[in-house]
Amino acid sequence: MPKRENLKLDYALMLRGGCGPYGKPEGDMPAMLQDLSAVKTSLRSQWKSGRVPFFSVLDRQEDIAAARALATDVRRRFKTLVVVGIGGSDLGTRAILKALPPAKGGMTVNFLGANTDPEEVAAVLKEVDWRRTALNVVSKSGNTVEPLATFLVLRDRLIRAVGRKAHASHVICTTGESGALREIARREGYRTLPVPEDVGGRFSVLTPVGLFPIACAGLDAKGLLAGAAAVRDEFSSAPVGRNAPLIWAGLQHDAFFRGERITVLMPYAESLREFAFWFRQLWAESLGKSHDRDGRIVHAGFTPVAALGATDQHSQIQLYAEGPADKTVTFIEVEKMRADFTVPKPYSDLEGAAYLGGHRMSAILKAERLATARALAVAGHPNCTLTLPGVTPASIGGLLMFFMVATAAAAELFEVNAYDQPGVEAGKQIIYSLLGRRSSSKR
């Protein structure tokens, strides 16, 4: 059994007794738990029938082994990896590498392709030594405009630097079974890794999409997967009343019908800054749907906001405290930081500075989080805190799985499809038309 990661959810300030009339009445909790019991039964049934693929990717040993083996070979030959992707193809990987910096002997990993900003590309090109650099272009459809355009520019520069014949050994394509990128890889002889056909991009970080760059950086992919499996299995086995991702999803769903349709995710750790951006796509794209699964108009979904504590206490909290009662805030706290400092006491005669002396910086950060949570509650704004034991591969894997489970559960409550994105496709077709592509039914 994977080690349990003990992610703890404190939702007392989401309830009416904790934050006033905009919180959930305690007396309504039994009905919510009953609904969540049905959600759990449904998701477990879907898991067994293969319809919750982000659960099963943790057990797909062939894909995991392929990503790790190819990373081992690439690390032997190159010092830098440039990942070219957008959205689900790179946000999760960015989040992990921000949380868990490259290990000793690991490759330096850079990212491009999330925008077609030529100045960003130019800045990276100035730094790249192509002889020691590998390219990993990631696109499930193989047709996505931003990474494909960026890759074609980088490929041209790579060929100029190392030659047409040699360049192929620098390129790895992580893609689906069809599309332009798959065909390019076939023609050029590029090595490939699969994006499972049944896994949407925003749920794909624990497939070769994320596992290959993570392994190139020398990180503990095994620990990451074990932490995710622990949260998945605890969701399956824990009673609904102690099932943190289910309860979090239920409280957010309930808040929607009280008009609290903005979800703020605010980690109190610089290492988790990018994690909030991964969550932003997951929550928005999975739940923002005009119709439910039976075709009824629902206009479901939340507006997710990525914030960072304590930084955004000085940029956003004024709005959250005194602005519209249209949002919930979820804080993420790290119980044990990987480094810490005690504040010195050089100015004992200046009260404005002296009171800080002797405090650990981690204790100050925790006090800031607690004070913000209490101040919001006093102002009547619901909030909750998810606590990690530390920032480790297992805890990050668990955190990723927590929010994927919660998103799937929220989709069940709204009765919408968490795994499609029809609102994105219309814009893609217009882009194709504007840029001169004749026609496309491909995603």
What is the set of active-site residues?
285, 314, 428
Task: Quote the CA–CA distance of 311 and 270 in Å, as a whole number.
Answer: 9
Q: How many residues does the chain have?
A: 443
Q: Give the residue among 291, 293, 289, 314 at the shortest CA–CA distance from 302.
A: 289
As a whole number of Å, the CA-based R_g of the chain is: 23
The residues, ordered by sequence, that sit 6+ positions from 299 with a Cβ below 8 Å of its Cβ are: 289, 290
Task: Quote the CA–CA distance of 59 and 207 in Å, as a whole number.
Answer: 10
DSSP string, 181-213: HHHHHHHHT-EEEE--TTS-GGG-TTSHHHHHH
The residues, ordered by sequence, that sit 6+ positions from 29 with a Cβ below 8 Å of its Cβ are: 15
CA 327 vs. chain centroid, Å, equals: 20
Q: In the Cβ-directed half-sphere of 269, how many Cα atoms lie within 13 Å?
A: 27
Are 324 and 303 within 8 A, CB to CB? no
Q: Tokens for 78?
A: 């190159």
Are 214 and 172 within 8 A, CB to CB? no
Q: Point out which residues pair with 334 in neighbouring strands.
A: 388
Q: Tokens for 308?
A: 């960072």
